[in-house]
Structure 1
Amino acid sequence: MTPHAEVQTPYHQGSRTVQDKAGVRTQADHVGRSIGQGIRPVAAAFLEIQPMLVLGGADGAGAVHASLLTGAPGFVRATGPRQISVADGVPATDPLAETLARDGAPVGTIALDPRTRRRMRLNGRARPTPRGLAIEADKVFSNCPKYIVKRELYEGRRPEGPGEPRRGTGLTDEQRAFVAAADTFFLATVHAHGADASHRGGDPGFVRVTSPYALEWDDFPGNAMFLSLGNLTQNPRAGLLFLDWTTGTTLQLTGTAETAYAPDDTRTVRFTLTETTETPHASPWRWSGPR
């Protein structure tokens, strides 16, 4: 067998291309063994204490979005060895609401708990249910706590409900400052047979706003899977989600992204936005600052 002969793998050619550029195919094969289709008891228990879930997918026009779903712990739970249910689903005003009203929509999800710096990802296909959504899993896996900022969750919901979404085609000065100060965002990408939602974190300023229509960030060393960057090699459309942990306001960006490779093997992702959606108080939860 040659070093690059294919064995059974959870990766498509896009991820393989990036892994080879980074010289981490062997490491990726090792990490890839942790990807399965089943939801283990420890993962089911983790889901049932989560107050939020990020979901990524494409709308009917192909634009990609990352959306925030929230609820009392238990609103996300395993309902079978390969299935989770999400109470209520996404709000009717969310960019993915129409897509998720149909059976079989490819979605990626990530449950990230700042309290414990743990995260779990589940990718699959969604269908509407009388209570919200059901998602049948294709891939289930966890990641290390690297780049997750620790926060505490305060008791009680905020008194105000979600405000009316405000849409635009470029970042306002206030939004630019918000993005530049962020230490966390979520990234949604898609490929021909599925979708993925992932997390990016770093010190404030790790996301650089280069214009009202563009931003960039360095791709830090991670788990060597390169699921997101692999997807972007096949479909450049992407969605970003920023959350104001104090006010619950969300900022969703949709557009396209490309990865620039430098001679020193560093990578920079450059995102060009086409639409913004800001929703005041989208989350009812109040989180502390970094701990």
Structure 2
Amino acid sequence: MSVYHAGSRAVQDRVGVRAAADHVGRSVGRGIRPVAAAFLELQPLLVLGATDPATGGVWASPLTGTPGFVRATGPHRMSVTGGVLPGDPLAEVLATDATDGRDGPDGSEGTRVGTIALDPRTRRRMRLNGRLHRTPRGFAVEADQVFSNCPKYLQRRSSYETVDRTPGEVQRGTELTARQQDFVAAADTFFLATVHAHGADASHRGGSPGFVRVLSPRELLWRDYPGNSMFLTLGNLAADPRAGLLFLDWTSGAALQLTGQARTEFGADGERRVRFTVTRVAATDGAVPLRWAPPEYSPANPWVP
């Protein structure tokens, strides 16, 4: 499939970076190179982005395991042992998709998903987008797009430890509580899932605490910092405004998942801002059994007033 669809091209043209996007786009392929395979096997965390077939909402969900739970099992195939927690908004995606195989038994190509593996220790990240199928031990993704991003806006956390946690029950709502608003306002990182007609994507957003503004219990705003000029995320939003956000507490393991709609605002000053409207909330204490070291903020982070 082409690296860019019409939504990404429209944003690239508006910003005037099509040539730069074409250059960067050459790094996107379907193959999982040996260095990428080695990177995956070291990760204790993977973020999955997809559409909940029951409601049509787009969500981003955390998956964790002992390093090696994510691995390349072929030149175009990533396998994952385990899955999301019970009650996770994407649990149905993993429960109902076609059983193992490059295509489902009905000839389907599988559920379109986006994934991102992010390593705060090295400030490296890798994205793999493709088609999900269940396997006896979890699921596999047949890759359509595989690529890495630069460490810009990624906070370094030098180490982590695995802790024994019992996840709490999923707390659901249609807007952010006061506690959740404070959590978002203090965040330095979140993950963003988006979709388009032929795929899905999961990406990272980072900045100094306060870079995500809470305008109300149902509305967030953040500045879109200059990146790699591909505009995969904003391109998806131009084609389909549905989006899912995942905020993690890197100490307590709490997960805050939001689904809703997002739109990009292009300012006269050349800055871009994304406005997100919350429609549903899923919050889980102790969702991730990892405790990370305090952050060393990226030197690329813009100042937050």
TM tier, shorter chain? over 0.9
Corresponding position of 2:262: 257
More off after superposition, 22-31 vs 86-95:
86-95
Task: Give the TM-score normalised by structure 2.
Answer: 0.91
Deviation at 1:91, TM superposition (A): 2.1
- What is the percent sequence identity of the aligned residues? 67
Q: List gaps (5 residues or longer) in structure 2.
A: 99-109, 297-305
Q: Within 5 A, what are the aligned runs for 1:10-29? A: 10-29=3-22
Corresponding position of 2:120: 114
Q: Is 1:38 aligned with 2:31?
A: yes
Residues 62-113 of structure 1: per-residue CA shift (max 9 Å, x gap): 1000000000000000000000111112223111111222131100000000
The whole-number CA distance in structure 2 between the counterparts of 1:92 and 1:247 is 19
Aligned-partner residue type, residue 39 of structure 1:
I
Q: Which runs of 4+ in 1 moved over 2 A?
A: 152-155
- Partner of residue 63 from structure 2, selected from 65, 69, 72: 69
The whole-number CA distance in structure 1 between the counterparts of 2:29 and 2:14 is 25
The whole-number CA distance in structure 1 between the counterparts of 2:47 and 2:164 is 22
Aligned-partner residue type, residue 151 of structure 1:
R
Is this contact kept in 2: 1:9–1:32, CA < 8 A?
Answer: no
Aligned-partner residue type, residue 46 of structure 1:
F
Corresponding position of 1:82: 76
Aligned-partner residue type, residue 258 of structure 1:
R
Aligned-partner residue type, residue 35 of structure 2:
V
Q: Is 1:142 aligned with 2:124?
A: no
The whole-number CA distance in structure 2 between the counterparts of 1:270 and 1:195 is 20
More off after superposition, 89-98 vs 111-120:
89-98
Deviation at 1:153, TM superposition (A): 2.5
The whole-number CA distance in structure 2 between the counterparts of 1:164 and 1:90 is 13
The whole-number CA distance in structure 1 between the counterparts of 2:225 and 2:70 is 30
Residues 155-174 of structure 1: per-residue CA shift (max 9 Å, x gap): 3x222221111011111111
The whole-number CA distance in structure 1 between the counterparts of 2:143 and 2:164 is 35
The whole-number CA distance in structure 2 between the counterparts of 1:168 and 1:264 is 36
Aligned-partner residue type, residue 11 of structure 1:
Y
The whole-number CA distance in structure 2 between the counterparts of 1:18 and 1:160 is 43
The whole-number CA distance in structure 1 between the counterparts of 2:116 and 2:159 is 18
Q: Is 1:205 aligned with 2:199?
A: no
What's the secondary structure of 2:181's corresponding residue?
A: helix
Q: List gaps (5 residues or longer) in structure 1.
A: 1-7
Task: Give the TM-score normalised by structure 1.
Answer: 0.96
Change (3 A) 1:193 1:9: closer
What's the secondary structure of 1:119's corresponding residue?
A: strand
The whole-number CA distance in structure 1 between the counterparts of 2:116 and 2:160 is 21
Q: Within 5 A, what are the aligned runs for 1:1-291? A: 9-60=2-53, 61-101=55-95, 102-103=97-98, 104-155=110-161, 157-291=162-296
Residue correspondences, number: 283
What's the secondary structure of 1:208's corresponding residue?
A: strand
Deviation at 1:288, TM superposition (A): 1.1
